[in-house]
């Protein structure tokens, strides 16, 4: 029967090692006391701004204990003035911010399996901060066994400022019989983060309980990401403790161009190899001004000052709606070469100032008068259900030639397809038309399907990322994966639009439709908004998108007043509307496109 007992004890030892590692503790145990283990949880009971009380709840998770001890490091200037059910070392009053070990009193050292007990104390603090210890470790020993040895590391998460340093401390849990060497080694991750001091520490029988410092440094760089790197704290015979180090970036992107982008799996990836989300706004007018006698940008500025106003909101992407006929020169003023040059100038200015441009065909040629029609014009004066075969391939050939070689520019092939509405909501007919084009039910002109437009772009040699919106005005992605066009460059992503009045406007639909697509290809919410001046709906959208790695560009960066919603600003200086613009700006300021 002894073989069964030994197996049982080995299993408990393994479980204890996992538990202790979770508390920033690495322990080595001898066979005689391999089943001894305990856990501890710190909780603050009261706090009046200068004094406080706290409890440490301890549980024996292994064999009966003959002795136990707790260890923790105060992160601020806390002092223990009184303790019960335990004896602190150093003695009370402890030094401010001390590394504390708690041993049992004379009457409560022995604890049965499963026993739970509480060590309480009162204390004081100065400086206004009273944060809990990053971890509390508990070790114990059973009958006849020596006390467990352990590494006590504090804290186990460190933010390292770019160009600066940060540190953590290491000490031993109990007195060793000889010298103990502890090393800190940087793992795979952000190479800017290195161990600059304390990579190898030596603890002796005299200094084992004195915390020694390990210093990390983050090199100055030119990217805009908060990179991470694990640091392994190790010693022979002890389980390794991992310190998670994060670089706190200080670059605002003022002098950096927008990153080149490509698709990798279900992520949009920048040229530095890091995941990138498109976070920003739509800048309308390029689609309508040229055909409504309003010039190129509806009198709005497209200079560096206007981009700086956007960047004050933490905007990193701008979606630019365009007019098909104005680009190719068959209608509007400006049109042809003059229109194209205006677009090129704005796109290049955005890129040079660190903002990703998304160019998209918004209005196009072709007469449509069926369900959802925005106008009865043949000319490109409103949103049509699909791109036209007559001019759309020419448009995208020209746009691709203009920006090929600059993969900071993204192509959104068509604003809001709705061939399903034209087909009386026949989903199969709608999706087939979407991909293949040709003669489509309910549409009176020959359609350019998404596959033909992808082909037109790639025929130029352009490898830019391409976005494709789904059906129902880009709100429906239910069969996007089924009908996804082929792309020799492998750079396709899905575009999704969501407003509070759309069908897919709740978390359940987002999870089932959008989430399923986002699990396989990158998804960008090219337009988000709500038909009010509030921001409650877009708050829900952004929270869901943030959690699922989906980017978003809100409608719209134009000072049109917010009487019908969806307008972010009251002027091109970036004054937000109340409360739609205010809510979007406040949220955007919390986001990082590289996270």
| Mean pLDDT, the chain, whole residue set | 90
Q: Read off the pLDDT of each residue in 449-477 and give the average, rounded to a whole number.
A: 98
Kindly report whether the peptide bond that precedes residue 93 is cis, defined as omega within 30 degrees of 0.
yes
pLDDT tens by residue, 68-77:
999 999 989 9
Nearest one of 112, 113, 139, 101 to 23, comparing CA atoms: 139
Query: In 3-state terms, what secondary structure has residue 109?
Result: coil
> Is the separation of the CB atoms in 298 and 334 below 8 Å?
no
The pLDDT of residue 251 is 58
Distance separating alpha carbons of residues 213 and 154, to the nearest angstrom: 10
83: pLDDT confidence band, cut at 50, 70 and 90? Answer: very high
Distance separating alpha carbons of residues 514 and 480, to the nearest angstrom: 10
Domain spanning 1-148, CATH architecture: Sandwich (2.60)
Q: In terms of DSSP bridges, do strands 200-203 and 523-529 run parallel, antiparallel, or are they unpaired?
A: unpaired
**Which of 244-248, 258-262, 282-286, 471-475 bottoms out in mean pLDDT, i.e. has the lowest?**
244-248
Is pLDDT above 60 for 273? yes
314: pLDDT confidence band, cut at 50, 70 and 90? Answer: very high
In a 13 Å sphere around the CA of 374, the CA atoms on its Cβ side amount to 19
The pLDDT of residue 20 is 39
Between 379 and 271, residue with greater pLDDT: 379
> Is the separation of the CB atoms in 189 and 246 below 8 Å?
no
The pLDDT of residue 3 is 35
Distances (CA, A) of 440 to 356, 381, 411, 530: 34, 21, 24, 31
Q: Read off the pLDDT of each residue in 194-199 and give the average, rounded to a whole number.
A: 95
Q: Read off the pLDDT of each residue in 144-151 and give the average, rounded to a whole number.
A: 64
- Which DSSP string do the residues of 532-564 spell out, in sequence order? SS--HHHHHHHHHHHHTT-EEEES--S-S-STT
Query: In 3-state terms, what secondary structure has residue 383?
Result: coil
The pLDDT of residue 506 is 96
Rounded to 5°, the CA angle 49-52-58 comes to 145
28: pLDDT confidence band, cut at 50, 70 and 90? Answer: very low
> Is the separation of the CB atoms in 123 and 74 below 8 Å?
no
Q: Quote the pTM value.
A: 0.63
pLDDT tens by residue, 359-370:
999 999 999 999
Distance separating alpha carbons of residues 420 and 434, to the nearest angstrom: 9
Distances (CA, A) of 448 to 63, 67, 235, 360: 74, 79, 65, 15
Q: Where are the domains of the chain?
A: 1-148, 155-251, 261-588
What's the DSSP call for residue 291?
G
The pLDDT of residue 155 is 87
224: pLDDT confidence band, cut at 50, 70 and 90? Answer: low
Task: Report the Cα 208 to chain-centroid distance in Å.
Answer: 40
pLDDT tens by residue, 160-173:
988 889 999 999 98
The pLDDT of residue 21 is 39
Nearest one of 247, 246, 240 to 24, comparing CA atoms: 240
Distance separating alpha carbons of residues 455 and 485, to the nearest angstrom: 9
Fold of 155-251: Immunoglobulin-like (2.60.40)
18: pLDDT confidence band, cut at 50, 70 and 90? Answer: very low
- Which DSSP string do the residues of 392-404 spell out, in sequence order? HHHHHHHHHHHHT
Q: In terms of DSSP bridges, do strands 356-363 and 551-554 run parallel, antiparallel, or are they unpaired?
A: unpaired
Distance separating alpha carbons of residues 583 and 595, to the nearest angstrom: 20
Is pLDDT above 60 for 8? no
Cβ neighbourhood burial of 58 (10 Å; 0-12, 13-18, 19+)? buried
> Is the separation of the CB atoms in 321 and 308 below 8 Å?
no
User: What are phi and psi for residue 466, nearest 5 degrees?
Assistant: -115, 130
pLDDT tens by residue, 334-380:
999 999 999 999 999 999 999 999 999 999 999 999 999 999 999 99
Query: In 3-state terms, what secondary structure has residue 49?
Result: coil
**Which of 49-63, 244-258, 275-289 bottoms out in mean pLDDT, i.e. has the lowest?**
244-258
Q: Which span out of 87-101, 146-160, 216-230, 536-550 was modeled with the highest average pLDDT?
A: 536-550
Distance separating alpha carbons of residues 418 and 370, to the nearest angstrom: 11
174: pLDDT confidence band, cut at 50, 70 and 90? Answer: confident
Evaluate whether the domain defined by 261-588 bears CATH number 3.40.50.300.
Answer: no
Nearest one of 328, 268, 334 to 456, comparing CA atoms: 328
Fold agreement (1-148, 261-588): no
Query: In 3-state terms, what secondary structure has residue 59?
Result: strand
Q: Read off the pLDDT of each residue in 437-461 and give the average, rounded to a whole number.
A: 98
Is pLDDT above 90 for 265? yes
> Is the separation of the CB atoms in 69 and 109 below 8 Å?
no
User: What are phi and psi for residue 307, nearest 5 degrees?
Assistant: -70, -40
Cβ neighbourhood burial of 349 (10 Å; 0-12, 13-18, 19+)? middle
Distances (CA, A) of 23 to 57, 75, 153, 514: 14, 15, 9, 38
Distance separating alpha carbons of residues 244 and 268, to the nearest angstrom: 25
Distance separating alpha carbons of residues 148 and 559, to the nearest angstrom: 68
The pLDDT of residue 135 is 85
228: pLDDT confidence band, cut at 50, 70 and 90? Answer: confident
Distances (CA, A) of 93 to 69, 81, 125, 216, 286: 19, 5, 12, 32, 71
Is pLDDT above 70 for 1? no
**CA Rg value for the chain:** 31
> Is the separation of the CB atoms in 320 and 558 below 8 Å?
no
The pLDDT of residue 222 is 61
The pLDDT of residue 413 is 98
Q: Read off the pLDDT of each residue in 129-150 and give the average, rounded to a whole number.
A: 75
Is pLDDT above 80 for 111? yes
Q: Which span out of 19-33, 228-242, 359-373 was modeled with the highest average pLDDT?
A: 359-373
């Amino acid at each position: 029967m002894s073989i069964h007992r030994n197996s049982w004890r080995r299993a408990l030892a393994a479980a204890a090692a996992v538990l202790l590692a979770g508390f920033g503790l690495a322990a080595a145990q001898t066979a005689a006391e391999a089943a001894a283990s305990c856990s501890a949880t710190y909780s603050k009971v009261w706090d009046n701004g200068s004094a406080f009380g706290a409890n440490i709840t301890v549980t024996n998770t292994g064999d009966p204990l003959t002795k136990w001890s707790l260890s923790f490091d105060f992160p601020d200037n806390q002092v223990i003035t009184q303790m019960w059910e335990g004896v602190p070392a150093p003695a009370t009053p402890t030094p401010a911010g001390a590394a504390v070990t708690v041993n049992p009193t004379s009457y409560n050292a022995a604890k049965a399996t499963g026993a739970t007990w509480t060590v309480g104390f009162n204390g004081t603090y100065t400086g206004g901060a009273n944060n809990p210890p990053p971890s509390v470790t508990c070790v114990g020993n059973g009958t006849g066994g020596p006390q467990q040895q352990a590494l006590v590391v504090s804290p186990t998460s460190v933010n390292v400022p770019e160009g600066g340093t940060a540190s953590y401390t290491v000490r031993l849990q109990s007195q060793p019989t000889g010298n103990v060497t502890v090393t800190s080694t940087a793992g795979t991750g952000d190479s800017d983060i290195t161990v600059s001091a304390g990579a190898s520490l030596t603890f002796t029988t005299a200094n084992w309980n004195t915390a020694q410092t390990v210093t990390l440094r983050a090199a100055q760089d030119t990217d805009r990401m908060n990179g991470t790197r694990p640091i392994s704290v190790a010693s022979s015979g002890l389980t390794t403790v991992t310190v998670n180090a994060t670089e706190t970036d200080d670059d605002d992107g003022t002098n950096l161009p927008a990153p080149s982008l490509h698709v990798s799996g279900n992520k949009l990836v920048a040229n530095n190899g890091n995941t990138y989300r498109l976070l920003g706004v739509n800048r309308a007018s390029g689609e309508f001004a040229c055909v409504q006698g309003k010039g190129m940008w509806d009198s709005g500025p497209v200079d560096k000052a206007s981009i700086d106003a956007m960047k004050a909101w933490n905007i990193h992407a701008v979606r630019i709606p365009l007019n098909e006929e104005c680009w190719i020169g068959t209608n509007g003023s400006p049109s042809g070469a003059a229109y194209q040059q205006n677009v090129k100038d704005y796109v290049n200015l955005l890129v040079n100032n660190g903002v990703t441009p998304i160019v998209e065909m918004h209005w196009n040629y072709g007469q449509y008068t069926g369900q959802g029609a925005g106008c009865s014009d043949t000319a490109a004066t409103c949103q049509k259900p699909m791109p036209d075969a007559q001019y759309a391939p020419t448009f995208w050939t020209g746009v691709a030639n203009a920006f090929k070689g600059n993969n900071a520019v993204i192509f959104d092939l068509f604003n809001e397809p709705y061939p399903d509405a034209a087909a009386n909501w026949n989903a199969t007919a709608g999706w087939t038309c979407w991909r293949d084009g040709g003669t489509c039910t309910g549409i009176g002109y020959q359609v350019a399907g998404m596959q033909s437009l992808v082909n037109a772009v790639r025929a130029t040699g352009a490898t830019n990322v391409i976005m494709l919106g789904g059906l129902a005005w880009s709100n429906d992605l239910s069969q996007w994966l089924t009908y996804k066009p082929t792309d020799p460059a492998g750079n396709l992503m899905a575009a999704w639009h969501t407003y509070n009045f759309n069908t897919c406007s709740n978390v359940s639909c987002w999870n089932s439709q959008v989430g399923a697509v986002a699990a396989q290809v990158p998804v960008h919410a090219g337009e988000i908004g709500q038909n009010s001046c509030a921001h409650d709906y877009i708050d829900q959208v952004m929270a869901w998108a943030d959690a699922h790695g989906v980017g978003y560009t809100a409608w719209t960066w134009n000072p049109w007043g917010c009487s019908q919603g969806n307008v972010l600003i009251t002027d091109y200086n970036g004054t937000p509307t109340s409360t739609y613009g205010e809510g979007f700006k406040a949220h955007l300021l919390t986001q990082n496109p590289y996270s």
